[in-house]
């Protein structure tokens, strides 16, 4: 423990630069070490804190690794049936139009079982925010192939790599929903480096602020790692993500509202 006692002149309240937001509870996150979900949770809560909207925000937790998001986010949360988070968010937003409503979903939830709900919520242009964490695999159930799994990528149900001929090509949900007239702001971000995290936070903040404009749905994809599912160390999985995921899922804004 002695290593952590450093210069006591620096560690003082007035010199504080950064600490975990109070909107995350003190519970230990249930995610694997190095998982991007933790960073994504923190960014969403930091944005809610900056908007000063702790009591004005309703989050929808999905089914998947982030099913316990309501344990970690200290705001009003509702857990939805598998894939149905956008439908539930629609209902909550229509009942409470002044509240910030967001869904937090993984790729198995949003891009597989919940494809219909996602596309129709986007098409109707509900004034909600969708946070889509894409790691190209079903993490919670043991690393099975997801619709977003890359061609040739190994998973527990495609042990020789995904064959596009028999298993289909991966689905780019974010590009798909950008085609729909109901979406207002569509972007793809990542949380593997400090600069990427800062950009992702800006995008999430914009996506939340857009709800007040009532111009349509804001969709933020966060390309993340799944080091357990990919069978790599966290740092190696981030490097693999840069080399393999980013060429297929390029980072950047896809649909930006015209000024």
Query: Considering the rule CB under 8 A, would residue 166 count as an interface residue with other proteins?
Result: no
CA distances from 117 to 69, 95, 99, 232 (A): 20, 18, 21, 33
SS3 113: helix
Query: Considering the rule CB under 8 A, would residue 7 count as an interface residue with other proteins?
Result: yes
Q: For residue 36, what are its two tokens?
A: 């991007």
Query: Which residue in the block uniquely carries the two structure tokens 């939805």?
Result: 80
Least distance to other proteins from the beta carbon of 8, Å?
9
Pairing assessment for the beta strands 183-190 and 252-255 based on DSSP bridges? antiparallel
Number of residues that bind other proteins (CB under 8 A): 40
Query: Considering the rule CB under 8 A, would residue 69 count as an interface residue with other proteins?
Result: no
Contacts to other proteins from residues 218-237, by CB under 8 A: 227, 233-235
Contacts to other proteins from residues 112-151, by CB under 8 A: none
Least distance to other proteins from the beta carbon of 51, Å?
19
CA distances from 231 to 122, 139, 207 (A): 34, 11, 33
Q: Please give the order of strands across the beta sheet that includes 100-106.
A: 76-79, 57-61, 100-106, 129-134, 217-223, 183-190, 252-255
CB under 8 A: which stretch of 37-45, 111-119, 125-133, 249-257 binds other proteins?
Answer: 37-45
d(CA 11, CA 221): 36
Contacts to other proteins from residues 169-198, by CB under 8 A: 191-194, 197-198
Least distance to other proteins from the beta carbon of 137, Å?
17
Query: Considering the rule CB under 8 A, would residue 38 count as an interface residue with other proteins?
Result: yes
Query: Considering the rule CB under 8 A, would residue 243 count as an interface residue with other proteins?
Result: no
Least distance to other proteins from the beta carbon of 135, Å?
13
Query: Considering the rule CB under 8 A, would residue 199 count as an interface residue with other proteins?
Result: no
């Amino acid at each position: 423990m002695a290593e952590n006692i450093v210069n006591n002149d620096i560690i003082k309240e007035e010199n504080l630069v950064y600490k975990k937001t109070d909107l995350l509870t003190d519970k230990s996150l249930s995610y694997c070490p190095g998982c991007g979900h933790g960073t994504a949770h923190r960014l969403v809560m930091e944005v809610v804190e900056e908007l000063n909207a702790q009591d004005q925000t309703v989050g929808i937790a999905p089914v998947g690794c982030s099913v316990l998001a309501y344990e970690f986010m200290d705001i009003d949360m509702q857990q939805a049936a598998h894939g149905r988070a956008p439908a539930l968010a629609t209902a909550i937003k229509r009942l409470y139009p002044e509240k910030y409503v967001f869904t937090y979903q993984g790729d198995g939830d949003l891009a597989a079982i919940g494809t219909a709900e996602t596309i129709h919520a986007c098409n109707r242009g509900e004034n909600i925010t969708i946070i889509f964490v894409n790691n190209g695999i079903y993490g919670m159930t043991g690393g099975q192939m997801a619709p977003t799994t890359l061609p040739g990528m190994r998973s527990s149900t495609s042990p020789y790599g995904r064959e596009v001929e028999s298993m289909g090509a991966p689905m780019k949900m974010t590009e798909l929903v950008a085609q729909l007239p109901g979406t207002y702001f569509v972007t793809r971000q990542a949380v593997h480096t400090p600069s990427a995290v800062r950009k992702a936070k800006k995008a999430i903040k914009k996506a939340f602020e857009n709800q007040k404009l009532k111009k349509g749905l804001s969709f933020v994809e966060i390309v993340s790692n799944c080091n357990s599912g990919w069978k790599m160390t966290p740092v190696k999985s981030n490097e693999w993500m840069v080399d393999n995921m980013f060429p297929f899922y390029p980072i950047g804004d896809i649909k930006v509202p015209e000024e």
